[in-house]
Amino acid sequence: MVAKRIIPCLDVKAGRTVKGVNFVGLQDVGDAVELGRMYAAQGADELVYLDISATVEERNTFTSLVEKIARNINIPFTVGGGISSIDDAARLLDVGADKISINSAAVRNPRLIDEIASKYGSQFVVLAIDAKRVGDRWLITTHGGRKLTERELFAWAREGEERGAGEILLTSMDHDGTRDGYPCELFDSLSRQLSIPIIASGGAGSVDDIYNVLSAGRADAALAASIFHYGEITVGELKRQLHERGIKVRL
C-alpha cells in the first residue's frame, strides 16, 4: 500500500500567507518562507503554494517568493496561481517548483493540460479543481471560487486525467475553511472513477477529519491549512496519530 501524504497549504496573497472561510474573509497567518521551512522540518510530505489572487488580478505568480520558499525546503513543492501558459509553467519550474497546479486556465483552455504534460510529464501536472454543490450536482468554479461554471466535476476530472494530469487537487468550496470535515462521499465517488491520485482539500478541522477522508474518502493525500497555521497540531503529531489508527504514513 502506498503511504498517504500530508500536505500543508500556503494560500498566498500579496506575499503573505492567508486563510479564510469559503475563499473569503482572509486573515494574515504568517510569512510563507518561514511556514514552509517549519512544515518541512515537521515532516510534511509535500508543500503546496497557491497564489490565490493571481488569476483575479490577471498577473503571474510571484516567482521571487516561490524561489525563496524552494531554497528553504527539501520536500516536493507544488505551485499554482496565475499559470496560463507553458511558459508560465517553465518559469516556475526553473525557480524551484517540482509540480505545477493549474485551475482556471485549464478550464478556459483544456489543451494546456496536454501541453504541459507532453513537455514535462504527467508527474509535473496537478489539476486543481474548486467545486461547489448546486442542487444535486457538483459544478466547477474558477477565479478563486468567484465564477461558477456549468462544467460538471466528475466529467472534468476524467477529462483532466485523459489529457495527462498526474494528480487531482479537489477543494470543496462549501467546506473550505469551515473546519467541519471533508465531504468524504464526494472524494470516495471521485476516487472510484479515476486511476490517478486525489488530494483532498477543504474542511480539515481535526485528526478525525483527516483520518476519515484518507480512509472512508479513499483520498491519497490530505491537504490542510488552518489546523497547522494556528498551531493546533504539528504535521509530525498528526502523522503519529494517523499511524496509530492504521493509516500508512511516512514517519
Please give the positions annotated as active site.
Answer: 11, 130
Q: How many residues does the chain have?
A: 251
Q: How far apart are CA 39 and CA 194, in angstroms?
A: 29
φ, ψ of residue 111 to 5 degrees: the values are -65, -15
Q: How far apart are CA 30 and CA 33, in angstroms?
A: 9
Residue type, 245: R
Residue type, 213: V
Q: Tell the residue number behind the cell numbers 497540531, with chain if given.
A: 233
Q: How far apart are CA 100 and CA 41, in angstroms?
A: 23
Cross-strand partners of 31: 16
Q: Residue 93, SS3? A: helix
